[in-house]
Amino acid sequence: MFGEYQLRTQFVKVGDTKIHMLEETEELIKYRRDNVRVILKKSRGGFRIVPAPAEGYGVKLLLIDFEERIMIPPRETLYFYLTAPIEAEVLLGDTVVDRFQISCEKYALYGTPEIGAIARYWRSGVYASEPESPGLIRIMITNKTNKWMEMDHVVVYIAGTVMFYSYYRAYYPLVKVEFKSDVPEVNNTGEPPREGLTPSKKPLPLPNFLMRW
């Protein structure tokens, strides 16, 4: 699914989406995906299919509701996985040829109607190890306070984030959540959630996010 491919006649399946590459002549290749059509001139290099953050219509935040609440003891740290929505990009070099959804597309208002923001919405179980899903996010929660803390959702800044991938699966960077007070601080670290994964691009610094709601 994710990775590098040669510019030649072939079908590539990405989730439920089929990409068809057809050699029209010795020099030209037609790229087809649903209603998308692109004519490519053959070159020595190939093309890449990489995961992309679920920005949809240009949102900057990803809101994931937990199916179970989490309780964190004082001065403790917990790691877990969530499933997450993802998109895919088809690249020639660093140029985007096509981008499309792999996961279902839902949105929600994060915050109040007066000062809230539209976020990509998802609902996930909480998993101690990697579940079977095309998109995953690993969370590290640290409670630095002297009392138990509770979480039933997380909001992550995702605009422009690097992604990591194996052939079958895409990962958001490791997300660190810190309770220094009752308002958790969320950090998209830009770091791989585990070893052995390929980055989609060079990581860029992203702002920390105070999860007030």
Q: What is the pLDDT of residues 16-55, one digit of tens each?
A: 999 999 999 989 999 999 999 999 998 888 999 999 999 9
Eight-class DSSP state of 208: -
pLDDT digit string (tens) for 170-202? Answer: 999 999 999 999 999 999 999 999 999 999 999
Question: Has this prediction a pTM greater than 0.85?
Answer: yes
CB-CB contact of 64 with 82 (8 Å): yes
Sequence spans of domains, the chain = 49-210
Nearest Cα residue to 179 out of 206, 207, 151 = 151
Tokens linked to 29: 């290749």
Q: Distance between CA atoms of 75 and 185, rounded to whole angstroms?
A: 15
Sheet strands (E) in 54-194: 61-72, 77-83, 86-92, 95-101, 107-110, 117-124, 135-143, 149-157, 164-165, 170-171, 175-179, 185-188
